[in-house]
Homo-oligomer: A and B are copies of this chain.
Amino acid sequence: MQVTRIKPFFILLMALMLSACAEAAHPNLVITSDNIEQMRAAIDEPGRFKNAFDKQRHMVDELIKHPIVVPVPKDGGGGYTHEQHKKNYQLMYNTGVMYQLTQDKRYADYVRDMLLAYADLYPTLDVHPKRKVKAQNPGKLFWQSLNEAMWLVYTIQAYDLIYDALNSSQIKTIEDNLLKPVALFLSEGQPSTFNKVHNHGTWATAGVGMAGYVMNEPEWVEKSLYDLDKSGKGGFLKQLDILFSPQGYYNEGPYYHRFALLPFVTFARAIENNEPDRAIFQHRNGVLLKAIYAAIDLSYNGLFFPINDAIKSKGTDTIELVHGVAAAYALTNDNRLLDIANQQNQIVLTGDGLKVARALDNNLAQPYQYQSTAFGDGSNGDEGALVVMRSDIDGEQALLFKPASQGLGHGHFDKLTWQFYDRGNEIVSDYGAARFLNVEAKYGGRYLPENESYAKQTVAHNTVVVDETSHFNGDVSVGNANAPTLDFFETTDKGTVSAGSIDTAYAGVQLSRTLALVNLPDLSRTIAIDIFNVIADQAHQLDLPLHYQGQLIDTNFAIEANTDLLKPVGKNQGYQHLWQKGQATPEAGLARVTWLNENGRFYTQTTLTDGTESFIFTQIGANDPNFNLRNEHGFIRRVRGVSQHRFISVLEPHGEYTPSKEFTLNAVSQVSSLEYSEQGSLSLIEVTVEGRQFLVAINGTEDAQANSTEFSYKNHQYNLDDRLGVYVLSNH
């Protein structure tokens, strides 16, 4: 009101000064003043946003009843002071939001007092007593600076949210004694972490960059974006360029993807709100949005595909992805994202969260369509790929194929492995990480020793092991330097097919695998075809394990069971953890293994064997003195002393076991014949299912433009226009 009476010249001057000082409005990071106005209005109306607010307010009110506790740092991860400081930053953030939404000064006072308590404590601190010796990333409040950066990401937002309730002396104390020192400690104080192109660097740059916006330090923003020396060799933009593939795939896999996403989305949102001209969400063809979509696409039944070090219960409802989906929706208005938001069943109290809540209230959600996709791996998308095949013609199915790169220290030695999912369940499974997160009795809640000795080893996965030795002989740096190749990927109405290969997992050994999820015409069902070809320059033992979820029901060959004495299958490289429950060498022809899962569906793997493959039936749990491993089942197909072998099999979901209703349907495999042949680069699989004969043709030509091919099979002519052809041979 008063401003309008001031002369225009003076207004201009003021605007210039404000701009020069960059004395920003508060709040203006993820949540802006504009957001706040709308959010305040929204909490007065019924709907999802108000519900989320009421719930959060109740929680905050309960927590701030207790006195503020800012303990002197003492404990490592999981310990008391560690957990208390984690709780503190989350509470400061949530209480700050409450202050903005309610304008109740009680909330601002609480955050202020906690910040002042930290401002008292922080100057007295040296590096943390529980830091790792020689590590370059100690924290002060926490044993490692990663947690300190997370503390800053939350705390700087909390500070921003209550800024307008502080007097200048409080501002000076908090900024000078706490926030600026923390930001400097995390940037200039440890360049190797700050400049590192790694998710630890993302947290640091996000925290410091946002501190720059809030405390008017534009240089900090520049350094966060472009490396401390502003060379662009490190920093947030470089992280966006390197850590994601062009399709948005994160090199370590979805479990760490999810973890890394939060600082990316948070800082990007703050950049967008402060400096929209940087067009951060358009950077690299919108890679950050692609990364959010990729996190969704790399899930099944709400859970992330558990490749590499992954805890299996993490999924799309994780808070990181709740923020991610909210940001993506606000930027794209893609109503399919609301389907995911609905499943997440959580509304974040931000401007983006409000937009999602309103859209859900207005029933705008559209079904999210999961696609079959090959996610190129590596910064340029050329270090192999993670392939997802989907089908919904016979219940929701997914086949995951992994000709992807090692994925750094959390990667597993599982080149070309696969997993299969049906009707919401894991069928052919991956162990994931051996870890009980935060369970002190289980190795302090850290990765268990068995994560190294079993879960990472090749035999723990569904891919070929040569001479009982893991890929790259278990050397991460060799693995990181040698990615597999994605040979081809195609998805049509006939199904999805992909092939990948690697010749560096073992010296002198070429591993090539082709997997296809094939729709069978007229039958409204699918089969998964697996052809694993090994060519070596000398004789080896080749093992192809398959880990399944369920109980063995039947085999069409006799198993010599080890009924009263169990020994491990091997000595090292994961084999020492597998009990050998039985063995068999089926005659040439079809070898069937049928199991039943807990949800009452049967699965049969039919192997076309030449009589040289032995089957070893296994259960995880040997050499596990602390009972750390889950005792899951599998079988290993083994050939010995060969320099060439092709493992050929078909996986078939079938039937139903419903004892509660006393019926059992199709408990027996309906694949009654299987033949394999090749014509040049064509692989031909003839398979009889339910008495109907099908011919599946896969064109493996290296010519990327694989054009239409003609071929003759059993005196008939066929045309193949794509990679994958499915032909009905007979229908009786």
A657 with B439, Cβ < 8 A, contacts A566-B579, A624-B563 known: yes
Q: State A582–B623 Cα separation when bound (angstroms).
A: 11
The A606-649 residues at the B interface (CB cut-off 8 A) are: 617, 619, 621-627, 630-631
In the assembly, what is the distance between CA of A559 and CA of B627, in Å?
10
Measured between beta carbons, the chain B residues less than 8 angstroms from A552 are 627
A318 and B660 form a contact (CB under 8 A): yes
**The residue from B437, B564, B663 contacting A662, defined by CB atoms under 8 A apart:** B437
Nearest B residue to A579 by beta-carbon distance?
B566
* Residue in B563, B568, B668 whose CB lies within 8 Å of A622: B563
CB distance from A650 to the nearest CB of B (A): 19
Q: How far is the CA of A625 from the CA of B584 in the complex (A)?
A: 13
Count of this chain's copies in the oligomeric assembly:
2
Q: Does A463 contact B (CB under 8 A)?
A: no
Contacting residues of chain A (296-342) with chain B, CB-CB under 8 angstroms: 311, 313-315, 317-319
Is A188 among interface residues, defined by CB-CB distance under 8 A?
A: no
Question: For the complex, what is the distance from the CA of A400 to the CA of B483, rounded to whole Å?
Answer: 56
Binds B, one of A191-199, A440-448, A517-525, A677-685: A440-448
For A630, the chain B residues whose CB sits under 8 A away are 551
A340 to chain B, nearest CB (A): 15
CA distance A567 to B564 in the complex (A): 6
A667 within 8 A of B: yes
**CB atoms of B664 and A561 under 8 A apart:** no
Chain B residues, CB < 8 A from A661: 318-319
| Nearest CB in chain B: distance from A477 CB, A | 29
Q: Which residues of B contact A559 (CB under 8 A)?
A: 625, 627
Question: In the complex, are the beta carbons of A659 and B437 less than 8 A apart?
Answer: yes
Closest to A553 in B: B441
Bound: A389/B661 CA distance, A: 28
| B594 touching A441, Cβ below 8 Å | yes
For residue A284, give the distance in angstroms from its CB to the closest CB of chain B: 30
In the assembled complex, how far is the CB of residue A45 from the closest CB belonging to chain B, in whole angstroms?
29
Question: A485 on the interface (CB 8 Å rule)?
Answer: no
Chain B residue, CB-CB nearest to A595: B627
Which chain B residues lie closer than 8 Å to A317 at the CB level?
Answer: 660
**Complex CA–CA separation, A316 to B378 (angstroms):** 54
Would you call A668 and B565 a contact (CB within 8 A)? Answer: no
Chain B residue, CB-CB nearest to A438: B664
Which residues of the partner chain B approach A561 to less than 8 Å between Cβ atoms?
624-627
Per-position 1/0 for A421-454, Cβ under 8 A of B: 0000000000000001111111001000000000
For window 591-610 of A, CB contacts with B under 8 Å fall at 594, 596
A576 at interface by CB-CB < 8 Å: yes
The distance from the CB of A684 to the nearest CB of chain B, in whole angstroms, is 31
Return chain B residues, CB-CB under 8 Å to A222. Answer: none
User: Which residues of B have CB within 8 Å of A563?
Assistant: 622-625
Those of A343-377 within 8 Å (CB) of chain B: none
Residues 528 to 586 of chain A near chain B (Cβ within 8 Å): 551-554, 559, 561, 563-568, 576, 579, 581-582
Given contacts A318-B660, A660-B318, contact A668 B619 (CB under 8 A): no
* Chain B: minimal CB distance from A627 (Å): 4
| B667 in contact with A441 (CB, 8 Å) | yes
Asked if A659 and B311 sit within 8 Å, CB to CB, the answer is yes
Closest-CB distance, A598 to chain B (whole angstroms): 10
Provided the pairs A314-B660, A441-B554, A662-B437 are in contact, do residues A622 and B564 lie with their beta carbons within 8 angstroms?
A: yes
A567 (CB) vs chain B CBs: closest residue: B565
Among residues of B, the one whose C-beta sits closest to the C-beta of A658 is B313
Q: Is the Cβ of A664 less than 8 Å from the Cβ of B445? A: yes
* Alpha-carbon gap, A559 to B441, bound state (A): 14
Residue pair A631, B619 in contact (C-beta under 8 Å): yes
Tell which of B442, B576, B625, B663 touches A438, judged by Cβ atoms closer than 8 Å. Answer: B663
- Please name all residues of chain B whose beta carbon is closer than 8 Å to the beta carbon of A631 when the two chains form the complex: 619, 631
Tell me the bound Cα distance from A258 to B727 in angstroms. 50
Contact, CB under 8 Å: A662 / B438: yes
Report the separation of the CA atoms of residues A308 and B596 in the bound assembly, to the nearest whole angstrom: 24
A623 to B: closest C-beta gap in Å: 5
Q: Which residues of B contact A567 (CB under 8 A)?
A: 564-566
Q: Verify A436–B622 contact, CB threshold 8 A.
A: no
A314 contacts across to B, CB distance below 8 A:
659-660
A315 touches B660 (CB 8 A): yes
CB proximity of A336 to chain B, nearest CB, Å: 23
* A115-142 to B contact mask, C-beta < 8 Å, 1/0: 0000000000000000000000000000
Report the bound CA distance from A659 to B311 in whole Å: 7
Q: Are A440 and B667 in contact (CB under 8 A)?
A: yes
Q: How far is the CA of A617 from the CA of B567 in the complex (A)?
A: 17
A217 to chain B, nearest CB (A): 32
Q: In the complex the two chains form, what is the Cα distance from A563 to B568 in whole Å?
A: 9
Contact A436 B657 (CB under 8 A): yes
A551 touches B624 (CB 8 A): no
CB neighbours of A311 from chain B (8 A): 659-660
| Shortest distance between the CB of A13 and any CB in chain B (Å) | 51
The answer to whether A565 and B566 touch across the interface, beta carbons within 8 angstroms, is yes
Chain B: CB-nearest residue to A662: B437
User: Which chain B residues lie closer than 8 Å to A437 at the CB level?
Assistant: 657, 659, 662, 664
A621: chain B residues within 8 A (beta carbon): 581, 619
- Of all chain B residues, the one with the shortest Cβ separation from A602 is B439
Per the bound structure, the CA–CA distance linking A105 and B659 in Å amounts to: 35
Q: Which residues of B contact A564 (CB under 8 A)?
A: 567-568, 576, 622-623
A93 to chain B, nearest CB (A): 16
Residue in contact with A313 in the complex, picked from B445, B596, B660, CB distance below 8 Å: B660
A664 to B664, CA, bound (A): 40
Chain A to chain B contacts (Cβ below 8 Å), 29 pairs: A311-B659, A311-B660, A313-B658, A313-B659, A315-B660, A317-B660, A436-B553, A436-B596, A436-B664, A437-B664, A438-B657, A438-B664, A438-B667, A439-B667, A440-B668, A442-B554, A551-B630, A552-B627, A561-B627, A563-B624, A564-B568, A566-B566, A566-B567, A581-B621, A581-B627, A582-B625, A617-B627, A619-B621, A619-B631
11 more A-B contacts (CB under 8 A) besides A561-B627, A564-B622?
Answer: A314-B660, A438-B664, A441-B554, A441-B667, A551-B627, A552-B627, A563-B623, A563-B624, A564-B567, A564-B568, A581-B627
User: Can you list the 4 inter-chain pairs with the closest CB atoms, starting with the nearest?
Assistant: A441-B554, A438-B664, A566-B566, A552-B627
